[in-house]
């Protein structure tokens, strides 16, 4: 007698994704789950593929603009996929994909490991940092990442490792942005043997610098645009007097021009329209094309 295998435990339907993004916008996910282990995640991936469902992964929901129409298929949120192991003598750090990068930075500092002091103010996860080559304060993920463990959704029984040299790292870029691979964990090699108090002090100083110059009290995605080096996106936008420019509930932050904030009732469409308006003004007056760091999901 055949038995029917139902969906894995933890699946929910019609979950509002605005509750899972730092901009607080985004429509419903047809199916949604928050796996707490790699085994749970791989079981969910296998189910989605067997059902022929589209698959999307989100971490902390930062650097992400999800359509008001929401997402079809299965959306996996990694924020419960947390944990890290540190070797203070060798400088090796292995962290789960959903580990908040600020949490890892503070833990490394307390262990006397230098290298992640820049990451303390980044509102994202280890997996997201690897995908985006996140950076700040003159540092970036590519400098310290040794490898990532990933899985191809079409072969969920066979996770494998990619070395940093295989990830095609560039400014805010990695090959993981083009390929449909899911990050499970990341391995860093930091600089060991430092005074924990000194590393912690540098980490705290970096956090203070960011929170005093950026709108941390309002929903945002972090920096919206890549810097068109040697220019700075925020300076180009500010020079045009665009601080405070609003469309619907979306506003160019009066504190930092490379941030767009949700003033309380923004929709994803408002944010998208404001991004395009800023791009058009900068293109018109400076002849420079600003490229968003933001990843858009949905129709």
Calculate ∠ Cα 88-60-124, nearest 5°.
Answer: 50
Told to judge if 293 belongs to the known catalytic residues of this protein, a careful annotator would answer: yes
Told to judge if 30 belongs to the known catalytic residues of this protein, a careful annotator would answer: no
Told to judge if 50 belongs to the known catalytic residues of this protein, a careful annotator would answer: no
Catalytic residue among 185, 220, 223, 253: 223
Half-sphere exposure of 228 (CA within 13 A, CB side): 15
- As a whole number of angstroms, the distance between CA 196 and CA 123 comes to 23
Q: What residues contact residue 266 under an 8 Å CB cut-off, 6+ apart?
A: 23, 24, 25, 219, 248, 249, 250
- As a whole number of angstroms, the distance between CA 36 and CA 10 comes to 10
Catalytic residue among 106, 149, 172, 210: 172
Buried b / exposed e over 83-105, threshold 16 CB at 10 Å, is ebebebeebbbbbbbbbbbbbbb
Q: What residues contact residue 87 under an 8 Å CB cut-off, 6+ apart?
A: 93, 192
Q: Which amino acids are annotated catalytic?
A: 172, 223, 293
């Amino acid at each position: 007698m055949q038995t029917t295998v139902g969906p894995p435990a933890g699946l929910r339907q019609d979950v509002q994704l605005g509750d899972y993004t730092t901009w607080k916008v985004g429509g419903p996910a047809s199916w949604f789950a928050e796996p707490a282990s790699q085994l749970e995640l791989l079981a969910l991936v296998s189910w989605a593929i067997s059902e022929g469902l589209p698959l999307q992964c989100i971490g902390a929901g930062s650097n992400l603009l999800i359509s008001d129409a929401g997402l079809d298929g299965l959306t996996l949120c990694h924020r419960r996929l947390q944990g890290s192991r540190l070797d203070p003598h060798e400088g090796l750090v292995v962290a789960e994909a959903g580990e908040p990068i600020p949490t890892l930075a503070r833990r490394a500092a307390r262990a006397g490991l230098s290298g992640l002091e820049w990451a303390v103010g980044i509102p994202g996860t280890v997996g997201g940092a690897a995908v985006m080559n996140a950076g700040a304060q003159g540092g970036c993920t590519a400098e310290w990442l040794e490898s990532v463990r990933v899985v191809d959704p079409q072969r969920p029984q066979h996770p494998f490792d990619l070395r940093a040299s295989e990830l095609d790292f560039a400014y805010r870029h990695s090959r993981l942005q083009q390929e449909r691979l899911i990050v499970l964990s990341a391995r860093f090699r930091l600089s060991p043997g430092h005074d924990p108090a000194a590393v912690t002090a540098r980490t705290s100083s970096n956090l203070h610098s960011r929170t005093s110059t950026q709108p941390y009290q309002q929903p945002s995605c972090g920096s919206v645009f890549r810097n068109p080096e040697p220019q700075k996106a925020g300076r180009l936008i500010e020079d045009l007097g665009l601080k405070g420019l609003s469309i619907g509930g979306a506003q160019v932050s009066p504190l930092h021009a490379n941030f767009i904030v949700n003033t309380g009732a923004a929709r994803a469409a408002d944010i998208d329209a404001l991004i395009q308006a800023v791009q058009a003004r900068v293109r018109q007056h400076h002849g420079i094309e600003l490229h968003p760091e933001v990843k858009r999901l949905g129709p």
